[in-house]
């Protein structure tokens, strides 16, 4: 361990400017690709692909460099605390991102939809579509010609039918995986690497099962239930909340996959395994978001 | 684990690299601070040029020099560039330069990420500005980009605007994570929280606010993106959504955002007033609690920006009362500054002049804010030039005077040379007079009913608008003098001492002027 009083400051680095370049490509690529969605012959998505190539390469080299520096013992305890705090505040920023979408759902359910249906002091907005009846989920949108409401919704079907309800299995997967990763971490801290690897693989299986089931649910929604992004405010909030959560599960699963591979290759020690710990916090975070989401999107 | 300790001691004592790569690859907090400050200065002139176009158009009633469509683009980008490109990066630049020196840290906690958070800003603004040259023109929906103006009726370039905002948000979040981590983890031994300099304190709380609200803004623009391109109906009542929802989400971000733009200025002004009054700041503890209270309250006042949108009466009352509560901690700060000066041995160097002007003129902006907070009265003031006067008083002689004061205060520490005091005082008086000529008459035309964001106005507002425009032109030109003063102090000027100012307290004044490339590699002991 290097001396507490010498904080490692890297001399200079080419990584950030490459990341900035990658993000520039990303903005241009994503902007042109989305603007050209209705032009089938457009090839602007190549910029986006290039952007991802640059961004992922930079991530690879950046994390590689951090791991190398750490292995050389260049990081003091103080610097490791910086990483811990950085990750904690990053997760806080993610919490606030989800907060925006929960806020939107709450506002729509508590205020906007009842007001459109003629309730309360804002009953005047009911005059726009006098026939609209406020229910949640909104199955008949105010203007059915613009936003065709869904035929069915994803709500909790009652305990008798819970076995056919995908979110139940999803919840089971994700909550269990939060447990298995904790077991893996404890095994690593005790020095039991076989058990550590086993429980990491279990976590991954559960995580990817979640992603698969979520994909299945979306397929059913689009194919059988008429529940689409364009199906009015219920489809909007349903897909954006579960979608961003699913996207974060994917990110978390990728992080944990890399950590598992590193674990198999002999990385991490009993004391020093921050990469894994950070991935595990992230995983617990997506788990907590899911539980909130099940409650407000599916059950109540 | 026994690890090989690399011969990295060389790296700790390197000087700056030569050429452009110094700036592209740098991990040094002083270099990055300098980059932020120059970028912000460039954006100040760009956003200022747009303001000049606006004032030239409004010089006389009727259509003058630009089309209404272009006027809208100028108005929108003036706001966006000043908020996200000028004021916020300037504060981050000051934070980069000053916080590690104030707390006795060798650098920022995460130096490579620090470089990244700067270099994505030119990316974001380059793309934002490039939309002017794309089909449909740049953003034209106001800096608040209310739906459906920014969704259904937006130009196609709104997609690039959305991603540019994402990048700006990422920059702010990474910068804030870095600042918080630096402050929490890297203070010199003995520097407890209640011994921390006030600029560092204000930035700790500002960074917290940024991490809390920038993701909400990212959420808002993401919903816009989905509504525009993927058929969702967040902000479309025909699908069961609500355009007002956009305003709620935007202002949940937007109100903390306005405190993000003023809190660091509070910190700067506190240092300057205590230095030039030669007295310790009055009520340090109450200052800290006041900042924290303002930050907490900022989360529960947002809907005072939308009193006229149609809210239940309970909502109007709640947001009216919470808004008025903010006057209490703000008043504590203003009276603490006055008490610090009271019976002080005051000298009036340029930073002090800007700071005293800050206290006086920011208070005017605060009081007009209290008027706007009264919900029934706001129905008269809403969307008039009175609002424009209010927020320009808190942002120009507030935030920007705070930044200018900070630049004059720390400039000798950065360049090693004193700036030209006569030119500095000229800059101050020209700015002080012209800023009032520009923004004070806006109160009158606003109360008389002149609407904001319109490229034309009724004839009875003509005289005042000509006065406002003349003031704005003088203010804009005066800032070129500021550029000259800074350049002059970089290349020439009286050698500055380490302490620079008689009576300056704090660790940043214990290092040489100009500050060496690396400071406090061994943390100092704070008693």
- Residue B432 CA to residue B357 CA, distance in Å, equals 7
Is the distance from CB of B140 to CB of B73 less than 8 angstroms? yes
Residue A2 has pLDDT above 70, yes or no: no
Residues A71, A114, single domain; the answer is no
Whether residues A17 and B119 touch (CB distance < 8 A) is answered with yes
Kindly write down the DSSP assignment for every residue of chain A, as one continuous string. ---TT-----SB-SHHHHHHHHHHHHHHHHHHHHHTTT-TT--THHHHHHHHHHHHHHHHHHHHHHHHHHHTT---HHHHHHHHHHHHHHHHHHHHHHHHHHHHHHHIIIIIHHHHTT-GGGGGGGGTSTT----SS-SS-S-TTTS---SS------GGGGGG-HHHHHHHHHHHHHHHHHHHHHHHHHT-HHHHHHHHHHHHHHHHHHHHHHHHHHHHHHHTS---TTSHHHHHHHHHHHHHHHHHHHHHHHHHHHHHHHHHTT---SS--HHHHHHHHHHHHHHHHHHHHIIIIII-
Domain match, A90 and A70 both? no
Examine the domain organization and report whether A84 and A69 are in the same domain: no
B330 has catalytic annotation: yes
The domain segmentation of chain B, as residue ranges, is: 25-509
B60 is annotated as an active-site residue:
no
DSSP assignment, residue B523? P
| Chain A CA closest to residue B173 | A93
Asked if the B25-509 domain carries CATH number 3.40.50.300, the reply is: no
Residues A22 and A142 in one domain: no
* Each residue's pLDDT tens digit, B165-207: 999 999 999 999 999 999 999 999 999 999 999 999 999 999 9
Claim to verify: residue A2 and residue A128 sit in the same structural domain: no
For A246-278, the pLDDT digits (tens) are 999 999 999 999 999 999 999 999 999 999 999
CB of A34 closer than 8 Å to CB of A27: no
Reading the block at residue B212, the tokens are: 């809390």
Answer yes or no: do A57 and A179 share one domain.
Answer: no
Based on its alpha-carbon atoms, the radius of gyration of chain B, rounded to whole angstroms, reads 23
pLDDT in tens, B228-239: 999 999 999 999
Phi first, then psi, for residue B26 (nearest 5°) are -65, 150
Give residue B431's Cα distance to chain centre. 18
Is pLDDT of B112 > 60? yes
- Domain's final residue, options A14, A44, A75: A75
The end-to-end CA distance of chain B, in Å, is 36
Among all residues of chain A, which has the CA nearest to that of B239?
A: A232
The stretch B331-337 carries a mean pLDDT of 97
Q: Which of residues 91-120 of A touch B (CB under 8 A)?
A: 92-94, 96-97, 99-101, 103-104, 107-108, 111-113, 115-116, 120
Provide the pLDDT for residue A137.
92
Q: How confident is the model at residue B114 (pLDDT cuts 50, 70, 90)?
A: very high
Residues 6+ apart with CB under 8 A from B491: none
Q: What percent of chain B has pLDDT over 70?
A: 97
Mean pLDDT, chain B, rounded, equals 94
Map tokens 């009726």 to a residue: B153
The residue in chain A having the minimum alpha-carbon distance to the alpha carbon of residue B161 is A31
Whether B252 has a pLDDT exceeding 90, the answer reads yes
How many Cβ contacts (< 8 angstroms) between chains A and B? 256
Task: Give the domain-ending residue among A44, A75, A106.
Answer: A75
- Total domain count, chain A: 2
Give the domain-ending residue among A40, A75, A110: A75
pLDDT of residue A5: 54
For residue A103, the model assigns a pLDDT of 94
Full residue range of the structural domain in which residue A284 is found: 79-299
Summarised one tens digit per residue, pLDDT across range A153-209 is 999 988 888 888 999 999 999 999 999 999 999 999 999 999 999 999 999 999 999
Tell whether A38 and A184 lie within a shared domain.
no
Query: What would the pLDDT profile of B414-459 be if each residue is shown by its tens digit?
Result: 999 999 999 999 999 999 999 999 999 999 999 999 999 999 999 9
Same domain? For A20 and A39 the reply is yes
Distances (CA, A) of A285 to A252, A299, B285, B515: 9, 20, 35, 42
CA angle A137-A142-A143, nearest 5°? Answer: 125
> What percentage of chain B exceeds 90 in pLDDT?
93
A19, A79, A104 ranked by CB distance to B223: nearest: A104
Q: Give mean pLDDT, residues A132-154.
A: 92
Give me the helices (H) in B186-283, please.
Answer: 198-229, 243-260, 263-277
Q: How far apart are CA B157 and CA B132, in angstroms?
A: 9
In angstroms, the CA A216 to CA A218 distance is 5
CB contact under 8 A, B1 and A97: no
Reply yes or no on whether the pLDDT at B108 is more than 90. yes
Query: Diameter of chain B by CA atoms?
Result: 81
- Structure confidence at residue B526 (pLDDT): 87
ipTM: 0.95
DSSP code for A272: -
Per-residue model confidence (pLDDT) at position B13: 52
Q: Answer whether A77 touches B (CB < 8 Å).
A: no
pLDDT score for B1: 33
A40 with A127, same domain: the answer is no
Report pLDDT for B6.
Answer: 41
* Distance from the A78 Cα atom to the nearest Cα atom in chain B, whole angstroms: 7
Instruction: Please check whether residues A43 and A98 belong to one and the same domain.
Output: no
Q: How many residues does chain B have?
A: 527
Q: Are A153 and A221 within one domain?
A: yes
The tokens of B433 are what?
């007079």
The shortest C-alpha distance from A110 to chain B (Å) reads 12
Q: Determine whether the interchain pair A240/B242 forms a contact, defined as Cβ–Cβ distance below 8 Å.
A: no
CB atoms B238 and A147 under 8 Å: yes
- pLDDT at position B527 is 76
| Nearest CB to B163; choose among A31, A74, A141 | A31
Point out the residue among A31, A72, A115 whose CB comes nearest to the CB of B160. Answer: A31
Residue B78 bears catalytic tag: yes
Does the beta-carbon distance from A78 to B237 stay under 8 Å? no
Contact (CB, 8 A) for A259 and A120:
no
CA distance B427 to B492: 18
**In chain A, what are the helix, strand and coil shares in percent, each to the nearest 5?**
70, 0, 25
Q: What whole-number distance in Å separates Cα of residue B196 and Cα of residue B201?
A: 7
Per-residue pLDDT tens digits for B384-410: 999 999 999 999 999 999 999 999 999
């Amino acid at each position: 361990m290097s001396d507490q009083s010498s904080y490692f400051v890297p001399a200079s680095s080419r990584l950030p400017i490459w990341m900035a370049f990658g993000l520039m490509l990303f903005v241009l690529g994503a902007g042109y690709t989305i603007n050209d969605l209705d032009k089938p012959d457009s090839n602007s998505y190549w910029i986006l692909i290039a952007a991802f190539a640059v961004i992922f390469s930079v991530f690879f080299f950046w994390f590689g460099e951090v791991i190398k520096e750490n292995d050389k013992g260049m990081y003091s305890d103080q610097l490791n605390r910086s990483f811990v705090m950085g990750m904690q505040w990053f997760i806080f920023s993610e919490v606030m991102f989800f907060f925006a979408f929960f806020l939107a759902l709450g506002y729509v359910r508590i205020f906007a939809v009842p007001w459109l249906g003629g309730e309360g002091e804002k009953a005047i907005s009911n005059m726009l579509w006098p026939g609209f009846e406020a229910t949640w989920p909104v199955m008949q949108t105010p203007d059915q010609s613009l936003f065709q409401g869904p035929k069915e919704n994803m709500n909790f079907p009652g305990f008798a039918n819970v076995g056919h309800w995908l979110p139940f299995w999803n919840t089971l997967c994700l909550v269990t995986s939060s447990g298995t990763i904790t077991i893996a971490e404890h095994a690593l801290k005790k020095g039991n690497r076989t058990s550590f690897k086993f429980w990491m693989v279990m976590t991954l299986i559960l995580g990817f099962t979640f992603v698969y089931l979520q994909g299945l649910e979306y397929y059913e929604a689009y194919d059988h239930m008429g529940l689409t992004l364009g199906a009015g405010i219920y489809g909007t909030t349903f897909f954006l909340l579960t979608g961003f959560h699913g996207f974060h599960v994917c990110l978390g699963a990728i992080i944990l996959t890399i950590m598992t591979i590193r674990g198999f290759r002999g990385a991490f020690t009993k004391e020093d395994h921050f990469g894994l710990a950070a991935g595990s916090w992230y995983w617990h975070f997506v788990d907590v978001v899911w539980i909130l989401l099940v409650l407000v999107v599916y059950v109540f | 684990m026994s690890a090989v300790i690399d011969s990295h001691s060389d790296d700790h004592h390197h000087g700056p690299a030569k050429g452009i790569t110094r700036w592209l690859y740098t991990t040094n907090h002083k270099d990055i601070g300098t980059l932020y400050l120059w970028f912000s200065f460039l954006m100040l002139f760009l956003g200022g040029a747009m303001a000049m176009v606006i004032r030239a158009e409004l010089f006389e009633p009727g259509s003058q020099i630009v089309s209404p469509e272009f006027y809208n683009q100028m108005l929108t980008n003036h706001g966006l560039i000043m908020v996200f490109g000028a004021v916020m990066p300037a504060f981050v630049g000051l934070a980069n330069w000053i916080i590690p020196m104030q707390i006795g840290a060798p650098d920022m906690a995460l130096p490579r990420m620090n470089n990244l958070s700067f270099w994505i800003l030119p990316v974001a603004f380059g793309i934002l500005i490039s939309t002017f040259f794309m089909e449909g023109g740049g953003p034209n929906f106001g800096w608040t980009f209310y739906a459906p103006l920014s969704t259904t009726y937006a130009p196609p370039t709104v997609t690039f605007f959305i991603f540019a905002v994402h990048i700006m948000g990422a920059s702010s979040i990474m910068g804030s994570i870095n600042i918080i981590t630096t402050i929490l983890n890297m203070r010199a031994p003995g520097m407890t929280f209640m011994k921390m300099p006030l600029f560092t304190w204000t930035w700790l709380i500002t960074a917290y606010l940024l991490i809390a609200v920038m993701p909400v803004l990212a959420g808002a623009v993401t919903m816009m993106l989905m509504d525009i391109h993927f058929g969702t109906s967040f902000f479309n009542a025909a699908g069961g959504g609500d355009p007002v929802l956009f305003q709620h989400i935007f202002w949940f971000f937007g109100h903390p955002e306005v405190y993000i733009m003023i809190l660091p200025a509070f910190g700067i002004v506190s240092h300057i007033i205590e230095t030039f009054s030669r007295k310790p700041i009055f009520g340090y503890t109450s200052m800290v609690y006041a900042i924290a209270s303002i930050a907490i309250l900022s989360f529960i006042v947002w809907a005072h920006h939308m009193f006229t949108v149609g809210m239940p009466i309970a909502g109007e009352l709640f947001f009216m009362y919470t808004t008025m509560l903010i006057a209490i901690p703000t008043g504590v700060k203003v009276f603490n500054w006055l008490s610090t000066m009271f019976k002080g041995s005051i000298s009036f160097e340029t930073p002090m002049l800007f700071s005293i002007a800050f206290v006086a003129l920011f208070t005017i902006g605060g009081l007009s804010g209290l008027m706007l907070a009264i919900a029934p009265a706001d129905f008269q003031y809403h969307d008039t030039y009175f609002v424009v006067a209010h927020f320009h008083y808190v942002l120009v002689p507030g935030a920007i005077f705070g930044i200018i004061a900070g630049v004059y205060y720390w400039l000798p520490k950065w360049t090693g040379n004193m700036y030209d005091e006569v030119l500095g005082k000229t800059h101050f008086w020209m700015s002080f007079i012209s800023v009032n000529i520009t923004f004070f008459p806006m109160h009158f035309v606003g109360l008389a009913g002149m609407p904001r964001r319109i490229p034309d106005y009724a004839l009875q507002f003509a005289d005042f608008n000509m006065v406002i425009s003349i003031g704005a032109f003088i203010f804009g030109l005066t800032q070129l003098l500021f550029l000259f003063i800074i350049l002059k102090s970089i290349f020439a000027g009286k050698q500055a001492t380490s302490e620079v100012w008689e009576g300056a307290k704090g660790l940043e004044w214990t290092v040489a002027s100009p500050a060496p490339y690396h400071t406090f590699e061994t943390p100092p002991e704070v008693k």
